[in-house]
């Protein structure tokens, strides 16, 4: 049976190590996420005419994907993905929704991409596939969990 003093000492040591570990991970003791590096999280739902999805995907692959490669290689984009929705509560008849998710290094990277002349030209061409305006959101991460792979 351990003494109370020994138990308190061990508990204090474990608490100290846990605090150091969580601070190193950028989280406080309540597991709330505090970003170590500024990031911006953007989610856009593109509403694409259902009969033009193949053309849209080909345009995206041909004109925007190379730009994503450039931005991710330069670490301006941390993550970027285009998802074809199997279900979307926002999707109207005759429309196929896509979710575009981008995590940028910071707000400046988002604006850098939006002001890119190549993106502006692509975006004008992509507008022809959209019978309605996209639904756009962006913000800051509050909580996150990732599986260890």
Residue 46 and residue 13 share a domain: no
Q: Is residue 147 part of a domain?
A: no
Tens-place pLDDT, residues 90-149: 989 999 999 999 999 998 999 999 999 999 999 999 999 999 999 999 888 888 898 998
Residue 103 and residue 50 share a domain: yes
Domain hosting 106: range is 40-139
How large is the average pLDDT for residues 41-68?
A: 97
Domain total for the chain?
Answer: 2
Residue 20 and residue 49 share a domain: no
Residue 73 and residue 9 share a domain: no
Residue 69 and residue 11 share a domain: no
Which residue, among 45, 47, 43, 46, has the nearest Cα to 137 in the 3D structure?
A: 43
Residue 51 and residue 106 share a domain: yes
Residues 77, 83, 89, CA angle at the centre, nearest 5°?
A: 125
The 10 Å Cβ neighbour count of residue 91 is 16
Residue 109 and residue 60 share a domain: yes
How large is the average pLDDT for residues 27-52?
A: 76
Which residue, among 123, 110, 103, has the nearest Cα to 59 in the 3D structure?
A: 123
The enclosing domain of 86 has a CATH number of: 3.30.70.100
Q: How confident is the model at residue 31 (pLDDT cuts 50, 70, 90)?
A: low
Beta strand spans in 12-94 (E): 40-49, 77-84
Residue 74 and residue 24 share a domain: no
Tens-place pLDDT, residues 6-19: 444 434 433 443 44
């Amino acid at each position: 049976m351990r003494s109370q003093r020994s138990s308190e000492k061990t508990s204090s040591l474990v608490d100290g190590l846990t605090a150091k570990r969580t601070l190193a991970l950028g989280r406080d003791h309540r597991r709330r996420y505090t970003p170590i590096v500024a990031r911006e999280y953007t989610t856009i739902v593109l509403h694409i005419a259902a009969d033009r999805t193949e053309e849209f995907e080909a345009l995206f692959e041909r004109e925007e994907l190379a730009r994503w490669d450039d931005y991710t290689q330069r670490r301006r984009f941390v993550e970027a993905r285009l998802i074809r929705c199997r279900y979307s509560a926002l999707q109207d008849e005759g429309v196929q929704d896509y979710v575009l998710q981008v995590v940028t290094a910071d707000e400046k990277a988002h604006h850098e991409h939006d002001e890119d002349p190549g993106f502006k030209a692509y975006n004008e061409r992509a507008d022809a596939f959209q019978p309605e305006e996209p639904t756009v959101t962006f913000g800051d991460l509050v909580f996150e969990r990732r599986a260890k792979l």
